[in-house]
Amino acid sequence: MTYIKTAMVTALMGATALTAAAPAFAKDLRIALQSDADVLDPDQSRTFVGRIVYASLCDKLVDITPDLEIIPQLATGWETSEDGTEITMTLREGVVFHDGTPFNAEAVAANIERSQTLDESRRKSELSSITGTEVTGEYEIKLMLAGPDATLMAQLADRAGMMVSPTAAAAAGADFGLNPVCSGPFSFTERVAQDKIVLTKFDDYWNADAINFDSVTFLPIPDTTVRLANLQSGDIDMLERLAATDLAQAEADENIVVDRAVSLGYQGITFNINNGERGDNPWGNDKRLRQALSYAIDREALNQVVFEGAFAAGNQPFPSTSPWYNASLPVEGQDIEKAKALLAEAGFPDGIDLEVQVPNSTVPLAVMQVVQAMAGQAGINISLTSKEFATLLSDQSAGDYQASQIGWSGRIDPDGNNHQFATTDGGINDSKYSNPKMDELLNAARVGSTTEERKALYDEAIAIMLEDLNRLFLYHVTWIWAYNDSIKGFTPYPDGMIRLEGVTWEE
């Protein structure tokens, strides 16, 4: 049996409270995001920036450390049965949602049911191993599983584990995201699309002594240069995803602090394989075309040209530094002749057109302009359609696209970078890609009893991914934050989130 005790974080929480006990003063914190968040409902949402907002809005059952260890948050401890089919959780007492609804075992049960049954939920596949819940006490709940699930705790450290008010969720239904009610350090105040999301400190937060800002406002500013200019002028206090090309300028400013963390995810191109009528096209129907594009791209050169070498070239769902990386399939160099040969085999010896939708922010556009030039050498004529990110996601989900430049911020378990994108019924499988062997491998990896067993399954799955290429991987980012030097106590995390517990403002 495994058991996680509260003692491992008691000291951490205590240290946080001590650090935050006497801030210079509270203020309204302004954070610039690369794009606007999508719907603010943990069950429906999928954007990276949305997760940054949730870090201040919605507590989870468990969280992670900067070293990717899973630690308590709303669940203070958990015990797994010997056969792996039951997890008993002890919950934090004295927690309330922003509308005053108490947090307890009944609330957890209601959240899991919503995630599994709401028609619009994207969390279904993440919680598919849970067959039922049993409330065994006011602050104790038992999760019944169909079988061992090595990924479940990692899922509960993200959106699948975010707790929303059952009262508000039941009243709002699918419209919950218009006025989200969670139990995090800040409560929802207002949102103006493409302009701002405003959260206000929640005085009844269980760890309120560690929160030192009266409010936090998230401002979508797609242009990286504009984001940095706003930071230097004092119009914002912090920005996420500083462009590598702006790094030298930011580091030269004595009033700015720069922090970094290697990400867990990837950036690439997703193809429409069978998502509606637009999936019925040569790129969706013939993997040789997708392979040709992959051979046409020089990933190392892409990293140097766009990111000045600050990121890492990539061809898999996780970077080469990950223990899950398939080392037998390293990043290959550009091979224009191979690309042309594959185009000819597929019946396009004179070249072919490809439309790629791309977010309307500086970095993705720069990436695709370089890819566009490289692909042109092989006879692949890429046209770029720039879209606001939420619109791009909506069109991608609806199948209104041919290919899409998009990435994933990454999860601490490899399942989070793969299952929902590459299995037939995956919650974010916008390609509608389906391969029974892939389903078999990724489902088996979820219940593997050892790391070695799971690694072998992922190695085999990745070989198929690089053959089928419903996702064509390009690079892995390094998260770069820049912020006013009056901000103290910020800790960079590999998941790219901005956690404000213990962070202060000192002039």
Length of the chain: 507
DSSP 207: T
CA torsion angle 290 293 297 303 (round to 10): -50
pTM to 2 decimal places: 0.81
CATH number for region 2-19+40-183 = 3.90.76.10
Return the sign of the alpha-carbon dihedral for residues 461, 465, 468, 470.
positive
Would you call 220 helix, strand, or coil by DSSP?
strand
Residue 483 bridge partners (DSSP) = 238, 257
Return the sign of the alpha-carbon dihedral for residues 30, 34, 35, 37.
negative
Q: Spell out the residues 6+ positions from residue 15 whose beta carbon is closer than 8 angstroms to its own.
A: 502
Residues 103-125 have a mean pLDDT of 97
Q: Does 189 score more than 70 pLDDT?
A: yes
Residue 145 bridge partners (DSSP) = 130
The CB-side HSE value for 128 (13 A sphere, CA atoms) comes to: 14
Element (H, E) at 90: strand 86-91
Q: Does 440 score more than 80 pLDDT?
A: yes
Closest CA to 42 of 177, 135, 157: 177
C-alpha to C-alpha distances, 399 to 167, 383, 395, nearest whole angstrom? 34, 18, 6
Residue 347 CB burial class (10 angstroms; 0-12, 13-18, ≥19): exposed
Q: Does 162 score more than 50 pLDDT?
A: yes
How would residue 18 be classed by pLDDT, with cut points 50, 70 and 90? very low
DSSP 266: E
Return the sign of the alpha-carbon dihedral for residues 207, 258, 266, 262.
negative
Closest CA to 382 of 284, 266, 469, 296: 296
Cα(234)–Cα(238) distance, integer angstroms = 9
Fold of 266-476: Dipeptide-binding Protein; domain 3 (3.10.105)
Angle made by CA atoms 476, 481, 482, in degrees to the nearest 5: 145
Q: Does 25 score more than 90 pLDDT?
A: no
Closest CA to 366 of 384, 339, 353, 381: 384
In the chain, domain spans? 2-19+40-183, 266-476
DSSP string computed for 422-483: HSTT-TT-TT----HHHHHHHHHHHS-SSHHHHHHHHHHHHHHHHHH-SEEEEEE-EEEEEE
Q: Does 21 score more than 90 pLDDT?
A: no
Q: Does 268 score more than 90 pLDDT?
A: yes
Tokens of 123: 């969390």
- Whether residue 256 contacts residue 484, with contact meaning beta carbons closer than 8 Å, is answered with yes
DSSP string computed for 379-418: TEEEEEEEE-HHHHHHHHHHT--SEEEEEE---SSGGGGT
Closest CA to 52 of 382, 493, 504: 493
Q: What share of the chain is helix, strand, coil (3-state, %, to 5)?
A: 35, 25, 40
Cα(395)–Cα(241) distance, integer angstroms = 24
Residue 385 CB burial class (10 angstroms; 0-12, 13-18, ≥19): middle
DSSP 147: S
What's the pLDDT score for residue 9? 41
Residue in this structure with the two tokens 């899409």, named with its chain if needed? 404
Cα(370)–Cα(383) distance, integer angstroms = 12
Q: Please name the amino acid found at residue 302.
A: L
Would you call 107 helix, strand, or coil by DSSP?
helix
Q: Which of 9-23, 101-115, 313-327, 406-420 shows the lowest per-residue confidence on average (mean pLDDT)?
A: 9-23
Would you call 178 helix, strand, or coil by DSSP?
helix
Return the sign of the alpha-carbon dihedral for residues 177, 179, 182, 183.
positive
Tokens of 214: 């009266």
What's the pLDDT score for residue 475? 97
351-374 residue pLDDT tens: 999 999 999 989 999 999 999 999
Residues 115-127 have a mean pLDDT of 95
What's the pLDDT score for residue 252? 97
Tokens of 267: 């950036």
- Whether residue 486 contacts residue 473, with contact meaning beta carbons closer than 8 Å, is answered with no
449-489 residue pLDDT tens: 899 999 999 999 999 999 999 999 999 999 999 999 999 99
Mean pLDDT over each residue of the chain, to the nearest integer: 94
Q: Does 136 score more than 50 pLDDT?
A: yes
Fold match, 2-19+40-183 / 266-476: no
Tokens of 414: 């490899």
Q: Does 26 score more than 90 pLDDT?
A: no
